[in-house]
Structure 1
Amino acid sequence: MMKLLKSIRISKSGASAAEYALILAIVGGGIVAAAITLKGAIGGAMTSTATTITTNA
């Protein structure tokens, strides 16, 4: 196990994987924050669309 950890630490691909994981976490957090912030607006738009479709059907 220690040999594997040492090879990852020395390996450039281990660093790249960690960097990609960090970027993915930041982007994912941004998407979650945007969804929480826009939750009301998205719900209102869906309700308005559903009302229009029901009324015009």
Structure 2
Amino acid sequence: MIRKLKSFIRDEEAATAVEYSVLLALILMAIIGTVTIVGTETNEMLGGINDSLQSTLFGS
């Protein structure tokens, strides 16, 4: 068991897989953060447009 663990630790393919996993996690976090910010800004913008239209059309 210990030999397999040492072999896995020395294995460059395993290290590469871990590096790609970490890189993928960072990219996904950046994408999720960006989509969240853009979604919030879009929601606020459309809410303002909706309020303007309602006050113009219905005078309230």
TM-score range, shorter chain: 0.5 to 0.7
Q: Distance in 2 between matches of 1:38 and 1:21?
A: 26
TM-score, normalising length from structure 1?
A: 0.63
Moved over 4 A (4+): none
Q: Distance in 1 between matches of 2:39 and 2:4?
A: 44
Q: Which runs of 5+ in 2 are unaligned?
A: 47-60
> Which amino acid in the other structure matches residue 23 of structure 1?
L
TM-score, normalising length from structure 2?
A: 0.60
* Matched residues, number: 43
**Cα RMSD between the aligned structures?**
1.4
Q: Which runs of 5+ in 1 are unaligned?
A: 45-57
Shift of 1:25: 0.4
**Superposed CA offset, 1:14-47 (max 9, x none):** 1101100010000000011001100132x54xxx
1:14 correspondence with 2:3: no
Task: Report which of the two structures shows the higher radius of gyration computed on alpha carbons.
Answer: 2
Q: Residue 29 of structure 1 aligns with which residue?
A: 29
